[in-house]
Amino acid sequence: MNNNTNKKKIILIDLDGVLNNYNGDYKEEYIPSIKNGAKEFLEKLSENFELKIFSARQAFLVKNWLKENRLDRYITGITDHKEPAFLYIDDRCICFEGNYQSVLSRINNFSPWYK
Ligand SMILES: [Mg+2]
């Protein structure tokens, strides 16, 4: 690993619904197919950031899926808890921008992009 890699800020990326074609139908042993453009997305992002997968799935299943889809080269780790990071990318989150009323409103109107 070179020194440049060590200095990159970390981005935690959710798996289901972000890098794959998850549609809300969760199956523990099955990870949906790669989402179109995901490889290019990670390739581009990894130029300036260290990327880790953030998933409640079993790590060995995620690791295999990454390898099968040739994404493992862009990922430095897999975690199931919220590690310190510069940013988090998730299909099920609301960005808190300092206004609780806005969050309440967005919760009531929330649905993931694939619904
Ligand atoms: Mg997700």
Over its C-alpha atoms, the chain yields an Rg (Å, rounded) of 15
CATH number of the structural domain spanning residue 98: 3.40.50.1000
Range of the domain at 71: 3-108
d(CA 42, CA 61): 19
In a domain, 92, yes or no: yes
For 46-56, the pLDDT digits (tens) are 999 999 999 99
Q: How many CA atoms lie within 13 A of 65 on its CB side?
A: 24
User: Global pTM?
Assistant: 0.91
How much distance in Å is there from the Cα of 60 to the middle of ligand 1?
18
For 57-101, the pLDDT digits (tens) are 999 999 999 999 999 999 999 999 999 999 999 999 999 999 999
Whether pLDDT at 1 is above 90: no
How much distance in Å is there from the Cα of 2 to the middle of ligand 1?
31
Look at the chain and report how many structural domains it folds into. 1
Token match 């808190």: residue?
Answer: 96
12 burial class (0-12, 13-18, 19+ CB within 10 angstroms)? buried
In a domain, 115, yes or no: no
How much distance in Å is there from the Cα of 43 to the middle of ligand 1?
20
pLDDT at 7: 87
pLDDT at 6: 62
